[in-house]
Amino acid sequence: GREDFLSVLLMSYEQRALFSNEHRDHQRRDRLARQKFVPPDWQQRAAKLEPTASFRLQISLNGQLHKFISVNSAVSAHGPAAVMSGPSLLLNTLYPEDAFLDLSQYVHDGLRHPLLYY
């Protein structure tokens, strides 16, 4: 469920912070780790899960559980540098199993992020 998803996500942040040793990566990991929904045993949970690019989870929307498929993707360098570099961009996409689930109320125009140029 949600705890497993957050555990795996936090583990990917942990790996990124360890590989890069950049302050912002450590801050991102710490910010997520402080969230009240992250289980205290997130390291053990993440270590027990199969390392796959996708998994199923349920999310409560307006008090009703809906099934989603979570797909993780990583974008990295190509060629010889790919072996030496870690992923430079990690993407997580949630796909509802119900093709007719209306998610329009969760779509917001004008979202901004300091690392995105648009």
Report the residue count for the chain. Answer: 118
**Rounded (5°) CA angle 78-81-83:** 95
71 inside domain: yes
* pLDDT reading at 80 higher than 60: no
Greater pLDDT, 91 or 99: 99
To the nearest whole percent, how much of the chain has pLDDT over 70? 84
* pLDDT reading at 4 higher than 60: yes
Mean pLDDT of 35-64: 85
Q: Residues 90, 74: contact at Cβ < 8 Å?
A: yes
b/e per residue, 8-28, with b = 16+ CB within 10 A? bbbbbbbbbbeeeeeeebbee
62 inside domain: yes
Instruction: Band the pLDDT of 18: cuts 50, 70, 90.
Output: confident
Mean pLDDT of 56-64: 89
Domain carrying residue 26: 2-106
pLDDT score at 12:
84
Query: Hey, is 49 helix, strand or coil?
Result: coil
* pLDDT reading at 27 higher than 60: yes
Q: How many other β-carbons are positioned within 10 Å of the β-carbon of residue 71?
A: 14
Count of structural domains within the chain: 1
118 inside domain: no
114 inside domain: no
Instruction: Band the pLDDT of 114: cuts 50, 70, 90.
Output: confident
**CB-hemisphere CA count at 13 Å for 114?**
1
26 inside domain: yes
69 inside domain: yes
115 inside domain: no
Helix H or strand E encompassing 12: helix 2-20
Mean pLDDT of 33-54: 85
pLDDT score at 88:
67
102 inside domain: yes
